[in-house]
Chain A
Amino acid sequence: DAGVIQSPRHEVTEMGQEVTLRCKPISGHDYLFWYRQTMMRGLELLIYFNNNVPIDDSGMPEDRFSAKMPNASFSTLKIQPSEPRDSAVYFCASSSRQGISSYGYTFGSGTRLTVV
């Protein structure tokens, strides 16, 4: 299994531009999580899905952020318009209900976003 795959690995964009981060979870996993990590705030949970349905988006910082999961094998996190304070590493993680009780979440390698 290739694990959780995120793309791109690095993204540099100008303030005001739209940014789309992508995630492919492990096949068979029905939970998907988006986290953001900064030096100041650590790892923050932004949103999570179960069976492609958003369950809790209370961590999404503001309306500029949106996340979708059109099918079980793909999710996107979009920032529009982007701002310098959005610069962070964004992680995607997936798991199954059974897996959470056995091996926890599997994280991707992250996308390092820099907004200039």
Chain B
Amino acid sequence: DAKTTQPTSMDCAEGRAANLPCNHSTISGNEYVYWYRQIHSQGPQYIIHGLKNNETNEMASLIITEDRKSSTLILPHATLRDTAVYYCISGSSASKIIFGSGTRLSIRP
């Protein structure tokens, strides 16, 4: 599985868009980019994933650069409940998911 790098921590004002970057420069052609988050004391929660096109669902948007070496997860209107550790992971759909250290996102009122 390709390795990803993320900032250790970020913060964002409530109501603003939270943009979480991720670098995956060694990603291969058949590997997806997955995002999960883990709210304190809970199990990780799937957010979104993509291969090369931008994706949007009810939780977030995923923007993947044309060369696929990096991506950004966007939470359009952050709330206090979005405070969590966000994990960016790359891998194929048939492979196991390996979690890195993630980004600790704090939402300030």
Which residues of chain A have a CB within 8 Å of any CB of chain B?
4, 33, 35, 42-43, 45, 48, 56, 91, 93, 97, 100-101, 103-110
Say whether B81 faces chain A, with CB atoms less than 8 Å apart.
no
Query: Is A42's CB under 8 angstroms from B101's CB?
Result: yes
Interface string of B69-97 (1 = CB under 8 A from A): 00000000000000000010000011011
Query: Is A107's CB under 8 angstroms from B96's CB?
Result: no
Q: Which of B32, B87, B94, B96 contacts A45 (CB 8 A)?
A: B96
Query: Is A109's CB under 8 angstroms from B98's CB?
Result: no
What are the residues of chain A within 8 A of B21 when measuring CB–CB? none
Which residues of chain B have a CB within 8 Å of any CB of chain A?
32, 34, 36, 38, 41-46, 49, 87, 93-94, 96-102
Mind listing 11 A-B residue pairs with CB under 8 Å? A4-B43, A42-B100, A43-B38, A43-B87, A91-B43, A101-B32, A104-B36, A106-B46, A108-B43, A110-B41, A110-B43
Knowing A45-B96, A100-B93, say if A109 contacts B42 (CB, 8 Å). Answer: yes
Q: Which of A105, A108, A109 contacts B97 (CB 8 A)?
A: A105
* Closest Cβ–Cβ distance, residue B61 to chain A (whole Å): 16
Instruction: Using A100-B93, A105-B46, A108-B43 as known contacts, list a sample of 7 further A-B pairs with CB atoms less than 8 Å apart, ordered by residue number in A.
Output: A43-B87, A45-B97, A45-B98, A56-B96, A93-B43, A101-B93, A105-B97
**Most A C-beta atoms less than 10 A away, residue of B36, B42, B46, B101:** B46
What are the residues of chain B within 8 A of A93 when measuring CB–CB? 43-44
What are the residues of chain B within 8 A of A110 when measuring CB–CB? 41-43
* Closest Cβ–Cβ distance, residue B25 to chain A (whole Å): 21
Knowing A42-B101, A104-B36, say if A109 contacts B43 (CB, 8 Å). Answer: yes
Query: Is A91's CB under 8 angstroms from B44's CB?
Result: yes
Q: Which of B34, B41, B45, B94 contacts A107 (CB 8 A)?
A: B45
Give A42 to B93 CA distance when docked, in angstroms.
22
Give A44 to B44 CA distance when docked, in angstroms.
12
Query: Is B43's CB under 8 angstroms from A103's CB?
Result: no
Closest to A104 in B: B46
- 3 nearest A-B residue pairs (beta carbon): A107-B43, A104-B46, A43-B99
